[in-house]
């Protein structure tokens, strides 16, 4: 599987060079003469805010989109791929941010999809399985090639996707946000694979927004902004602040602009809440004007708690008390009527309605409360939308623009606007800045702080420790469905949080035993 | 500005197709572009047009309703039997009294709503594909009509036939009903909570649910709307023909209605539907049906042309929509 690597002689400094790449879409110049030079056997990270042109550049490289002008030199020869197939055959493979596995087929089927080994006219299933096993072993993965894809966790699917990319004997593997669905330990596995590939002379082009991970694995970093090439430098010569400054073209002085505000009485009291395996005897208080963080590993049950409070998930037992009144919420509508709002973690899956415009997306929850009358009061809808476009600075050409045309950060702001229109006392935000560029991140953080200042109560679920630590007044830490610890702001430290996140609280265990 | 005009052109390209077809037909036969012929054309399309505004709602929510032709036939037969003259020799319901036209029509609409409610509940609560649920509904309704009566139901009261065959001044009532339903559909989709919820459900049902929308209830109501319009179409059908036939009334009408809604830009991937587009789709189907008859084109060739036009317009539409994503 490893032959043909020898021709990457040391005399060639770069395996890939892209010069003066211009890509024009009707009315938009997405790339304005961009440069990229990748050395073999290195991890080259592309950085930039959403819309900076990183993904477009990669799509031009692998032939999904034709370049308008510019030169691509791969292994010393000028190339111009017209399809991903051509790029793959030449040894450039890409792992996309959005996975597209065939769920009803096996792992082996997915890995060899479209290039199944043949035995005469028949597919050679035995060879498929054996080659798969060999690849898994090489990567230290424990997976059954005969397992149906749909039975795998998202993280495992991601690993299969990576295996698939590697199996093309690629000289360049492009990874677009590969860790967004992985747990910490799986990220470690991925990094091991990356090291392995590097040692074999494979170049990795890595796209990610996660600073700590970028600085851990990158050899070189190239920064882009608004379709323009800004700079390339060895990672060791850069600091996080410098990279951010290059990306946004301005200095973000404070990622977590926390405003201290008075914290009032308890507004939400959750007692002994149980719902399935991942919500076990959960209790906590939320006060007026407080930002309560929820930390824990992926799969600790944080999202599930929020879904239970919001009526998406069935509550088995326990009490949810708001302002002294016990609530019996069975649907999101009832939650909204009780002034609870949930900004879900899966923005595309159950947040935005892509085809609809900004106004429809923003007004939909308030509209469903019957607040716009019959016939619908269009003027009031337009006014409401404009108010939040202005106050939370949504960048959009018009209210009619389909929301899918906006960047992730702006989509998120529209959804914040949607919930603000329902006048929530309690706003729950689940991974509010996932996949959002740094500039918009800081804005969302300051928005949360501002809302708390208005006397609303906010719950922030986040897997990024700096984020929860930066915005929260208190942090509830979850482990496998139980609350394992609650920390005050003065007690915050990454080490303490990780300690609680990886172990059970004895109290919680005793409670389960005595049942 | 440029992008906006571009969008307007691409959204309204379908009207260009209609004008082009009208031009072709007018050149082909001098009798096509006459007031009398437009009246014939509209009268001919009104019934399927009413159904199209129903099924367009279902398609908007990523569903479909295949039962509307058959349920129209069932309701035409049942309500027709209620309004046969009491002394008519071969009355279906032997010896009964003749129902007032209004009562029979209301019973028909109620039956349509009921059929829609049953199918809608199955689709909403079992998550069964609408294609399957309404395919079953189609078989059941058609068979029920044939069990109800083996012979055509004729000799219907004039009051009952008002919707299908009367004229107010120069305007056939059947066309008027079609235009009223068009306006009602436009009002529901554009100006009500229900309409906006359908766009949200069709666009992303998970997101709609999280935004507080009762997805099941709205889906049920969608099929109730479909059913009521199918019933209305059935009553118009019987009124126009003067009789209802359990085997042939409304046969394959659902396919023409779906074709009109689809050609009119209603996306089967959900979330996209313009009522004016559906209107245009109905007119396009009408121009093809009517115009090709005038040109003396054989029925089979007419269907080939229809088939090609449906596929080509949808191909363009798909391209437009995928480019956006």
Residue A153 included in any domain: yes
The structural domain count of chain B equals 1
Cα torsion B249, B307, B290, B264: sign: positive
Residues A41 and A86 in one domain: yes
Residue A190 included in any domain: yes
Which residue in B200, B266, B5 sits closest to A403, CA to CA? B200
- Residues 272-311 of chain A with CB under 8 A from chain B are 310
Residues A169 and A298 in one domain: no
Local confidence pLDDT in tens for the 325 residues of chain B: 466 677 777 777 889 889 999 999 999 888 999 999 999 999 999 999 999 999 999 999 999 999 999 999 999 999 999 999 888 877 888 777 889 999 999 999 999 999 999 999 999 999 999 999 999 999 999 999 999 999 999 999 999 999 999 999 889 999 999 999 999 999 999 999 999 999 999 999 999 999 999 999 999 999 999 999 999 999 999 999 999 999 999 999 999 999 999 999 998 889 999 999 999 999 999 999 999 999 999 989 988 988 998 888 888 877 766 544 3
Residue A133 included in any domain: no
List CB contacts (< 8 A) between A369 and chain B.
Answer: 212
Token pair for B203 = 């666009």
* CATH number of residue A235's parent domain: 3.40.50.300
The structural domain count of chain A equals 2
Residues A193 and A324 in one domain: no
Question: Is the minimum CB–CB distance between A324 and chain B shorter than 8 Å?
Answer: no
DSSP string, A481-492: TEEEEEEEGGG-
Residue reference for tokens 């060999």: A134
Residues A235 and A311 in one domain: no
> Can you say how many angstroms the Cα of residue A60 is from the centroid of all Cα atoms in its chain?
23
List CB contacts (< 8 A) between B199 and chain A.
Answer: 353, 356, 360
Residues A186 and A330 in one domain: no
Residue A198 included in any domain: yes
Q: Which of A248, A277, A299 is the last residue of a domain?
A: A248
Residue B135 included in any domain: yes
Axis-axis angle for helices B101-126, B158-165 (nearest 10)? 60
Axis-axis angle for helices B253-263, B35-60 (nearest 10)? 80
Residue A346 included in any domain: no
- ipTM for the predicted complex comes to 0.86
Residues A222 and A274 in one domain: no
Residues A237 and A288 in one domain: no
Q: Which of A248, A280, A312 is the last residue of a domain?
A: A248
Residue A478's domain comprises 266-339+424-514
Residues A312 and A166 in one domain: no
Give the Cα separation of B4 and A401 in Å (integer). Answer: 10
Closest chain B residue to the Cα of A334, Cα to Cα: B212
Own/partner long-range contacts of A208-215 (Cβ < 8 Å, ≥24 apart): A208/A45, A208/A175, A208/A177, A208/A178, A208/A179, A209/A177, A209/A435, A209/A436, A209/A437, A209/A438, A210/A179, A210/A464, A211/A240, A211/A243, A211/A244, A213/A179, A213/A187, A214/A45, A214/A47, A214/A243, A215/A240
A27 and B2: CB-CB below 8 Å? Answer: yes
Q: What is the mean pLDDT of chain A?
A: 85
Own/partner long-range contacts of A26-29 (Cβ < 8 Å, ≥24 apart): A27/B2, A27/B3, A29/A227
Residues A34 and A172 in one domain: yes
DSSP string, A373-384: TTTT-HHHHHHH
Question: Is the minimum CB–CB distance between B208 and chain A shorter than 8 Å?
Answer: yes
Question: Is the minimum CB–CB distance between B192 and chain A shorter than 8 Å?
Answer: yes
Residue B203 included in any domain: yes
Residues A287 and A222 in one domain: no
Which residue in A488, A425, A433, A484 sits closest to A456, CA to CA? A425
φ and ψ at residue B305, rounded to 5 degrees: -60, -45
Residue A403 included in any domain: no
Q: Which of A187, A216, A248 is the last residue of a domain?
A: A248
Residues A80 and A173 in one domain: yes
Residue A73 included in any domain: yes
Residue B247 included in any domain: yes
Closest in B2, B187, B203 to A353, CB measured? B203
Residue reference for tokens 């994503």: B325
Residue B223's domain comprises 43-251
Residues A101 and A161 in one domain: yes
Which residue in A15, A58, A18 sits closest to A40, CA to CA? A15
How many helices and strands (H and E) does chain A possess?
18, 22
């Amino acid at each position: 599987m490893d032959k043909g690597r020898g021709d990457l002689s040391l005399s060639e400094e770069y395996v890939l060079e892209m010069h003066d790449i211009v890509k024009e879409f009707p009315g938009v110049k997405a790339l304005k003469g961009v440069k990229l030079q990748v050395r073999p056997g290195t991890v080259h990270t592309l950085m930039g805010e959403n819309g900076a042109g990183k993904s477009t550049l990669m799509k031009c490289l692998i032939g999904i989109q034709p370049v308008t002008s510019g030169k691509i030199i791969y292994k010393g020869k000028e190339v111009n791929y017209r399809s991903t197939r051509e790029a793959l055959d030449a040894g450039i493979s890409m792992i996309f941010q959005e996975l597209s596995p065939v769920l009803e087929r096996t792992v082996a089927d997915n890995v060899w999809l479209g290039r199944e080994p043949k035995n005469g006219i028949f597919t050679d299933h035995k060879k498929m399985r054996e080659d798969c096993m060999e690849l898994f072993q090489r990567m230290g993965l424990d997976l059954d090639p005969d397992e149906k894809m749909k039975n795998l966790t998202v993280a495992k699917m991601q690993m299969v996707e990576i295996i698939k990319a590697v199996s093309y004997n690629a000289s360049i593997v492009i990874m677009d946000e590969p860790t967004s669905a992985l747990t910490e330990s799986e990220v470690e596995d991925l990094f091991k694979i990356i090291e392995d590939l590097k040692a074999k002379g494979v170049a990795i082009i890595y796209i990610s927004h996660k600073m700590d991970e970028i600085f851990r694995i990158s050899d070189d970093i190239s920064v882009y902004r608004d379709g323009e090439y800004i700079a390339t430098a060895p990672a060791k010569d850069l600091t996080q602040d410098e990279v951010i400054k290059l990306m946004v073209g301005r200095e973000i002085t404070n990622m977590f602009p926390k405003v201290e505000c008075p914290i009032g009485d308890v507004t939400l009291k959750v007692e002994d809440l149980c719902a399935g395996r991942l919500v076990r005897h959960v209790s906590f208080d939320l006060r007026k004007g407080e930002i309560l963080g929820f930390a824990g590993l992926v799969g600790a049950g944080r999202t599930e708690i929020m879904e239970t409070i919001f009526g998406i998930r069935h509550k088995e037992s326990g009490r949810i008390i708001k302002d002294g009144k016990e609530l019996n919420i069975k649907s999101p509508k009832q939650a909204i009527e009780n002034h609870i709002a949930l900004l879900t973690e899966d923005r595309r899956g159950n947040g935005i309605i892509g085809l609809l415009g900004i106004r429809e997306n923003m007004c939909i929850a308030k509209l469903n409360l019957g607040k716009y009358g019959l016939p619908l009061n269009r003027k009031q809808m337009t006014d409401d939308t404009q108010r939040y476009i202005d106050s939370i600075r949504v960048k959009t050409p018009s209210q009619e623009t389909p929301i899918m045309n906006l960047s992730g950060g702006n989509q998120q702001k529209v959804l914040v606007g949607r919930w603000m229109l329902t006048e929530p006392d309690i706003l729950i935000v689940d991974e509010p800045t996932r996949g959002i560029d740094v500039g918009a991140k800081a804005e969302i953080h300051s928005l949360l702080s501002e809302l708390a200042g208005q006397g609303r109560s906010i719950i922030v679920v986040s897997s990024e420790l700096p984020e929860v630590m930066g915005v929260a007044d208190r942090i509830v830490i979850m482990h496998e469905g139980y609350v394992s610890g609650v920390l005050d702001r003065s007690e915050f430290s990454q080490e303490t949080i990780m300690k609680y996140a990886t172990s059970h609280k004895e109290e919680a265990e005793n409670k389960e035993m005595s049942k | 500005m440029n992008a906006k005009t571009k969008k307007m052109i691409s959204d309204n390209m379908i009207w260009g197709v209609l004008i082009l077809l009208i031009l072709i037909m007018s050149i082909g036969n001098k009798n096509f572009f006459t007031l009398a012929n437009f009246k014939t054309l509209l009268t001919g399309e009104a019934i399927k047009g009413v159904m199209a505004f129903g099924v367009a709602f279902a398609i908007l929510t990523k569903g479909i309703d295949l039962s509307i032709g058959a349920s129209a036939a069932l309701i035409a037969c049942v309500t027709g039997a209620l309004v046969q003259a009491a002394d008519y020799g071969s009355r279906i319901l032997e010896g009964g009294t003749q129902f007032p036209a209004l009562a029979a029509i209301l019973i028909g609409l109620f039956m349509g709503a009921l059929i829609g409610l049953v199918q809608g509940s199955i689709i909403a609560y079992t998550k069964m594909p609408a294609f399957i649920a309404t395919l079953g509904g189609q078989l059941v309704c058609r068979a029920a009509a044939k069990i109800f009566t083996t012979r055509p139901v004729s000799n219907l009261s004039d009051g009952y036939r008002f919707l299908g065959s009367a004229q107010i001044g120069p305007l056939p009532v059947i066309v008027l009903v079609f235009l009223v339903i068009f306006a009602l559909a436009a009002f529901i989709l554009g100006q009500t909570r229900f309409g906006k919820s359908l766009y949200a459900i069709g666009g992303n049902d998970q997101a709609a649910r999280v935004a507080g929308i009762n997805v099941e209830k709205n889906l049920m109501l969608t099929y109730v709307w479909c059913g009521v319009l199918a019933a209305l179409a059935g009553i118009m059908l019987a009124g126009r023909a003067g009789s209802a036939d359990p085997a042939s009334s409304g046969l394959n009408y659902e396919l023409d209605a779906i074709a009109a809604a689809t050609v009119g830009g209603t996306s089967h991937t959900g979330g996209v539907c313009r009522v004016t587009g559906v209107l245009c789709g109905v007119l396009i189907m009408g121009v093809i049906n009517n115009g090709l008859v005038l040109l003396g084109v054989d029925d089979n060739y007419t269907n080939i042309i229809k088939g090609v036009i449906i596929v080509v317009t949808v191909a363009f539409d798909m391209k437009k929509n995928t480019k956006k994503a």
